[in-house]
Amino acid sequence: MISVAAKLAGMHPQTLRIYERKKLINPQRTQGSTRLYSQRDVDRLKLIQVLTQELGINLAGVTRIFELQDEIEQLQCLIDELNKKVACLQESLSQELEKVKQSALVPMSRGQIVLRKTRRPGC
């Protein structure tokens, strides 16, 4: 509820409504449209207070800071996803390389191993 969140964040409920209108905060709502603030929302409200009151950043600046934070989170998720793909590709490449090595080796009668002549693509 808005009054509880306002008390937890140390601000007036009307301030929360302003932040919501400016899309700085987006609490979930019940079917009856009651606002439900999570701990993350309350923490965000406290951060807005610090940014505006202690650091003198206006609400447009706060909005931009939050946009950049969201971008960083999205990019970090993309980096994690790409790192997983790279690891998977490296494993596949390693397996294929091992297959090529094994198929290029020919055992000799005295236990020696000789490389088979392989044709390079396009040769």
Any idea where the domains of the chain sit in the sequence? 1-57, 58-106
Residue 88 Cα distances to 77, 102, 112, angstroms: 17, 21, 34
Annotation: CATH topology of 1-57: Multidrug-efflux Transporter Regulator; Chain: A; Domain 2 (1.10.1660)
Compute the distance between CA of residue 121 and CA of residue 45 in angstroms, rounded to an integer: 62
Buried b / exposed e along 78-89 (16+ C-beta atoms within 10 A):
eeeeeeeeeeee
Residues 17-59 pLDDT 10s: 999 999 999 999 888 888 899 999 999 999 999 999 999 999 9
Which amino acid is it at 85?
K
pLDDT for the residue 43: 95
Give the max Cα distance, the chain: 89
Partners of 28 in the β-ladder = 36
Residues 94-121 pLDDT 10s: 999 988 888 877 666 666 666 666 666 6
pLDDT for the residue 33: 85
pLDDT for the residue 69: 95
Enter the pTM of the model.
0.66
